[in-house]
Amino acid sequence: MAVSMEKANTIRSAIDRKKLSEQERRQLQHELKIYMEQYFKAKLGKGVDHTKVVIWDDMLVIRGERFLTDPERYIVETPAGKDVVRAARMQVAKQHSIDNVPYFEEVLQAKAIHQVYDVEPENDFWMHVVIFDRKLTE
| Tens digit of pLDDT at every position of the chain (138 positions) | 444 445 434 433 444 468 999 999 999 999 999 999 998 888 877 778 899 999 999 999 999 999 888 899 999 998 899 999 999 988 988 988 999 999 999 999 999 999 999 999 999 999 999 999 999 998
pTM, to two decimals: 0.81
133: helix, strand or coil:
coil
CA nearest neighbour of 63 among 127, 122, 112: 127
User: Which amino acid, 64?
Assistant: G
Rounded CA-CA distance 54/120 in Å is 19
Task: Indicate the DSSP class of residue 123.
Answer: G
Rounded CA-CA distance 120/26 in Å is 27
